[in-house]
Structure 1
Amino acid sequence: MTHRVVVFVRDGLLAMEFGTVHRLFGQARSEDGTALYDVVTCTSVPGPVRTDTDAEIYVRHGVEALEHADTVIVPASDLDYGERSSANMIMFDRVPADARIASICTGSFVLAALGLLDGRRATTHWKSAEQFRARYPQVKLEPDVLYTHDGNILTSAGEASGIDLCLYMIREDFGSSVANRVARGTVVPPHRSGGQAQYIEMPIPRSTTTSTAAAQAWAVANLDAPLSLEVLAAKLSMSVRTFTRRFTAEVGISPAKWIAQQRIHRARELLENTDHSIDRVAAESGFGTATSMRQQLMAEIGVSPSVYRSTFRGR
């Protein structure tokens, strides 16, 4: 028997995500060429569904298709940012209790609005993370990962991470060899290193109107120098205790954490925009050694300097 995947789409459907699900699961076949999945699209009211492109799709199936699902996937819609736009989807009561339910990108807002993510690990697109956390504080949001799997509920980050999630589900269902064949057929890696943290833009704000602004500016210009609290406090003729208290109050984090963020930000800029050696990047960012920089980047964004550079600058 084939595994039935039901794709639940809504007005404003992100077309890329819709195509991703059909293409990946549609390619999954056994050694003898037998299709392993039956992929069906449904919507609340059958008929035309607007996408985020200049084209519509026509959906023949209504919510009754959910009653026969082994897996339900909810792609994102450009309406997901609206106030509780998906909270009225009571039709999910039709989904079998043992079915797997997954979301792509901001499709996670649907699952959260239905209470399916309460107390569970979940993720969403990094640009929507703050809004998601404010609206659904009961969800254990993990904004740095590509996807999560908690019980029978799976969520993924931005659009392309839907590829990672679909390949993961195929691997879980039918093993690595099937998933790898699908990945090769789609010309994508079967597994990506790191999480979505490496794709998040992280400009580090610096205050220009506070009592510690001059020390911040000096630190940013001298990241390759030892930046002890004593050195920074002396720039302002303050005691270490006074400087630390004022800095934390004005910036929102401790001086040590702020400096670490600045150094990571500088390292990412140099890895993306220069051909400097890894050792030189480490030195100019203030990490001292390539080993230290690698440890810090791995802890912060989940990938090594060389992997980060190959992703954002090319090999």
Structure 2
Amino acid sequence: MRSVALAVADGMLPFELSLACEVFGSDLTHLVDPWYRFSLCGAGPVTVGRFRLEPDEGFDGLARADTVIVPGWADVDVDPPGELVDAVRAAHGAGARVASLCTGAFVLAAAGLLDGRRATTHWAHTDELARRHPEVTVDPDVLYVDNGGVLTSAGKAAAMDLCLHLVRLDHGTTVANTVARRLVTPPHRDGGQAQFVRTPLPAPGNHPLAELLPWVLAHLDEPLTVEDLARHAGMSSRHLARHFKTITGTTPLQWLHTQRIRHAQELLEATDATIDTIAAATGMGTATTLRRHFNRTVGVPPDTYRRTFRTHHTGRAD
């Protein structure tokens, strides 16, 4: 996998594109000689963000590369150019390993490369990818998915995770770790996208749960049941479940669990409270229970989450 071609077209995201250029386009022959032969392939000069790029060769160059990388697609509501989709499909047909970064997964899906495969993209767009391409098994929780010849990454920084994964596959762990150290980034991150997702509360308004939801948030430390919520709302458990499904898209217990985890995240980020204290404040009871549910929902233990998201980090590299 010595040659890497980056597919470029108007409307791509500059962040993901620049990550790929930094990893594969830099001269790292002091690590491995030869390093990758890197090229930009496009139909002509392209505008990416506020930058103007001149490709090295046309889209037909993708089919001559060992690895093809498709950066994020800025407007997922707009179909990617047919010539880009055709070129990516042709490159895969010629035997290239194809990887998408962030919303570049929409290009791969349009080319049919994700049909019958598991894939991911930025968490904000996983529902849309699944809706438009039901033949794709969309996993919203992971940082990247490796199907062998077809790979997809989650959003933004997860593009770096996938790029380093490709380097690890091609050149081994030691080289990938050295590249990560050079870029001042972890060679491997624990967990998945779930730790970065914020679950929004329903907007205040004139709906049947308008008074109940704030009350629940103020009593998260209590062992609430569906019956408790129904009693406070003055309705039957069945009617409560129906309203929850309509307004929040989930069940009362699942919504309650999500809010407990959300509150735990806030306390881990902003306070020095112990795990036992946070467990009590969120209605989880014990630290063991909190750790189990937090790890299952967020993808990392509470202590790991706190180290990642503490609001008073100094930014010093120890």
Q: What TM-score, normalized by structure 2, do the two folds share?
A: 0.88
Q: Secondary structure at the match of 1:169?
A: helix
**2:145 aligned partner:** 148
Per the alignment, in what secondary structure is the counterpart of residue 234 of structure 1?
Answer: helix
Instruction: Answer yes or no: is 1:296 the counterpart of 2:293.
Output: yes
**RMSD (Å), alpha carbons:** 2.4
Kept in 2, the 8 Å contact 1:13–1:49? The answer is: no
In 2, the alpha carbon distance for the partners of 1:156 and 1:164 equals 8
Deviating runs (4+, > 6 A) in structure 1?
none
Task: Please give the secondary structure, in 1, of the residue aligned with 2:229.
Answer: helix
Q: 1:60 maps to what in 2? A: 56
Out of 80, 83, 98, the residue aligned to residue 85 of structure 1 is 80
Matching residue within 185, 188, 194 for 2:185:
188
Match for 1:130: what amino acid? Answer: D
Aligned length: 310
1:163 paired residue number: 160
> Residues of 1 paired with 2:164 and 2:234: CA distance?
57
1:273 to 253, 270, 273: 270
Query: 1:288–1:41: structure 2 CA closer, same or farther, 3 Å change rule?
Result: same
- TM-score, normalised on structure 1? 0.89
Report how far residue 153 of structure 1 moved.
0.5
The answer to whether the Cα contact below 8 Å between 2:19 and 2:159 also exists between their aligned partners in 1 is: yes
Identify the range of structure 1 (32-41 vs 196-205) with the bigger mean alpha-carbon deviation: 32-41
Distance 1:63 1:253, change over 3 A: closer
Aligned-residue identity in percent: 43
Aligned to 1:40, the other structure's residue is in SS state: strand
Cα displacement string for residues 45-66 of structure 1 (whole angstroms, at most 9, x for unaligned residues)? 23x211112x212112112312
Paired residue type of 1:177: T
Aligned equivalent of 1:75, options 71, 84, 92: 71
| Alpha-carbon separation, structure 2, partners of 1:226 and 1:282 | 12
Distance 2:218 2:307 in 1: 27
Residue in structure 1 matched with residue 225 of structure 2 by the alignment: 228
Report the secondary structure of 1:50's partner residue. Answer: strand
Query: Shift of the alpha carbon at 1:77?
Result: 3.4
Q: Which residue of 2 aligns with 1:175?
A: 172
Aligned residue identity for 1:51: V
Secondary structure (helix, strand or coil) at the match of 1:288 reads coil
Does residue 205 (structure 1) correspond to residue 208 (structure 2)? The answer is no
Q: Which residue of 2 aligns with 1:49?
A: 46
Within 5 A, what are the aligned runs for 1:105-116? 105-116=102-113
